[in-house]
Amino acid sequence: MFELIKGSGPISFPGLGFEINPPKGFILFDKLNIHFYGVIIAIGLILAVVYGMRRSKHFGLKQDDILDGVLWIVPVAIICARLYYVIFQWDMYKDDPISMLYIWNGGLAIYGGVIGAAVCVVVHCKIKKISLGAVLDLVALGFLLGQGIGNRVIGLKEGKVCDFDIQEALSMKKPYDEKLHHIAEQIAF
């Protein structure tokens, strides 16, 4: 009825001195795989929408316009994310084109989603006759919130381990340029 899916390895926080090894997700009813990253990305999206709805009046927008946009922009962005992935991974799909529809097997690219969402936002603003600038200002903050929760919190973005001391980096003991150079050396790929 309920079974955990083993994780792919630990997520380490060397500066804090600990690591976690979370499960990848769980299986319900022997068939339905629920991945934690999908749940957390959905939570990030929901929080971004709630943020946008609550802050809409500060940008001169109506909540209904924001919700209308979300209801058709999100599905189009998911389709574009899949399409982008399939285009750049065509070798995986050319022999079995129907497998392009098997989104549950993975394969979304954020670039495609952002491109699709951007085009949809412009179209949405034209149709609703609302300020593109105001929507972009609002969406940028919601996007950062959603990305921060959806990707960074759960470790979807991989990177190089940095060993600089954050307290040293934030202090003014060293000349500013030297600190920036040190940080850039540590995080450069």
| pLDDT tens digits for range 71-114 | 999 999 999 999 999 999 999 999 999 999 988 777 888 899 99
- Backbone phi, then psi, for 12, in 5-degree steps? -105, 150
- The token pair that represents 32 in the structure block: 């339905």
- The neighbour count for residue 68, using CB atoms within 10 Å, is 14
Whole-prediction pTM: 0.69
> Is 45:146 a contact under the CB 8 Å cutoff?
yes
How confident is the model over 171-188, as a mean pLDDT?
54
How confident is the model over 19-26, as a mean pLDDT?
74
How confident is the model over 16-32, as a mean pLDDT?
74
**Residue 9 CA: distances (Å) to CA of 24, 155, 176:** 9, 11, 37
Question: What whole-number distance in Å separates Cα of residue 98 and Cα of residue 69?
Answer: 29
Helix axes 110-128, 132-147, angle to 10 degrees: 150
Q: 162-169, long-range: CB within 8 Å, 24+ apart, which pairs? A: 162/15, 162/186, 162/187, 163/14, 163/15, 165/15, 166/15
Mean predicted lDDT score pLDDT of the chain: 79
DSSP string, 128-179: HT--HHHHHHHHHHHHHHHHIIIIITTT-S--PPP---HHHHHSSSS-HHHH
Q: Which amino acid is at 103?
A: I
> Is 75:81 a contact under the CB 8 Å cutoff?
no
| pLDDT tens digits for range 150-167 | 555 555 555 555 555 655
Place of tokens 């709630």: 50
Confidence of residue 117 (pLDDT cuts 50, 70, 90): very high
Confidence of residue 189 (pLDDT cuts 50, 70, 90): very low
